[in-house]
Amino acid sequence: MQQFTKIQEMKDYLRPMQSAGQKIGLVPTMGYLHEGHLSLIRRAVQESDIAVVSIFVNPIQFGPSEDLAKYPHNLAKDLELIDKTGAAVVFTPDAVEMYGDNHLTFVHVEKITDILCGPFRPGHFQGVATVVNKLFNIVRPDKAYFGQKDGQQAMVIQKMVRDLNMDVTIITCPTVREADGLAMSSRNTYLNVAERSQAPVLYQVLTAAKDMIQGSITDGVLIKKQIKTMISSKPLANIEYISLVDASSFREISQVSGPVMIALAVKFGATRLIDNIIVEG
């Protein structure tokens, strides 16, 4: 497995292979890998000639009051885990390499960043779109892999790729969960024992909402009210938002009449967790 920390070295390594027709799969991550990341990497290995994993804790996607400084990391462990998947390349630039001291260019996706997590994390999706745009230009992947857990992120990246005519196919992979249903996330490590024991309510309410829809309940207000009641029964949970959005237009809906994404963000103490499921409706 090759590791690169410099943008130009990464390009110089990949371009001749690309000229020779090799297909590149990219899995962009912020490290501290869990089984969710590994499922993406394994799929990239399976579908590409060269699977590239990037590890970069992107400062511009964190707000000033967010957890950039304490974001968990363990590069040695990450490299060991990636090596076992058969991925060929790991790209681990630092913030100076990625942004220098005079970065002025940002990619912004409008509207679909104004809902769900957007209002609670101003600038977050601009930071995500910008770094992913850069990674796509550096790596020039044929396919790039993202997790459904960050459903809005996947939508934003998909929209950026289409609007800017980038030559990359975005593959969104199913959320990987713990045995009790909690979506895997690097941030789960922040939870204390009590918080961790209550966090599975997120998947429980998503499943309950899915059951309601499949039981022909189409009233969005009623579904959200039921979700709210269930989450509120957990004393450590603080709801940030509960949303039902059309799964393709990403517009908030009040009536279920087709595929719908049920998405939520809930804080346990200082730890903000997100989850979502798509229901055919």
Q: Other CB atoms closer than 10 Å to residue 55's CB: what's the count?
A: 22
Q: Does 225 engage in binding with a second copy (CB under 8 A)? A: no
Q: Token match 């713990």: residue? A: 178
Piece of the chain touching a second copy by CB under 8 A; list 44-52, 155-163, 218-226, 273-281: 155-163
**Shortest distance, position 259 Cβ to a second copy, whole Å:** 18
Q: Does 276 engage in binding with a second copy (CB under 8 A)? A: no
Tell me whether residue 69 or residue 101 sits nearer to a second copy (CB atom).
101
Site string for a second copy, 78-117 (x = CB under 8 A): -------------------------xxxxxxxxxx-----
Site string for a second copy, 30-69 (x = CB under 8 A): ----------------------------------------
**Shortest distance, position 13 Cβ to a second copy, whole Å:** 14
Give the tokens for residue 1.
Answer: 């497995």
**Shortest distance, position 88 Cβ to a second copy, whole Å:** 20
Helix (H) or strand (E) holding 43: helix 35-47
Piece of the chain touching a second copy by CB under 8 A; list 50-58, 71-79, 129-137, 210-218: 129-137
Kindly give the pairing relationship between strand 237-246 and strand 169-173: unpaired
Classified as helix, coil or strand, 115 is coil
CB 51 within 8 A of CB 40: no
Classified as helix, coil or strand, 114 is coil
Kindly give the pairing relationship between strand 50-55 and strand 89-91: parallel
Distance CA 34, CA 81 (A): 9
The one-character DSSP state at 190 is G
**Shortest distance, position 249 Cβ to a second copy, whole Å:** 9
Instruction: Identify the burial level of 158 via C-beta atoms within 10 angstroms of its C-beta, where 0-12 means exposed, 13-18 middle and 19 or more buried.
Output: middle
**Shortest distance, position 55 Cβ to a second copy, whole Å:** 17
**Shortest distance, position 125 Cβ to a second copy, whole Å:** 11
Of 7, 17, 95, 217, which lies in the binding site for a second copy, with binding defined by CB under 8 A? 7
CB 231 within 8 A of CB 266: yes
* Among 34, 37, 73, 108, the one annotated catalytic: 37
Of 70, 167, 216, 235, which lies in the binding site for a second copy, with binding defined by CB under 8 A? 167
Tell me whether residue 7 or residue 208 sits nearer to a second copy (CB atom).
7
Instruction: Identify the burial level of 144 via C-beta atoms within 10 angstroms of its C-beta, where 0-12 means exposed, 13-18 middle and 19 or more buried.
Output: buried
Is 108 among the catalytic positions? no
Give the tokens for residue 280.
Answer: 């055919």
CB 228 within 8 A of CB 249: no
Q: Which stretches of the chain bind a second copy, using CB under 8 A? A: 7, 11, 19, 21, 103-112, 129-130, 133-134, 137-138, 140, 159-160, 163-167
Q: Which residues are catalytic, by number?
A: 37
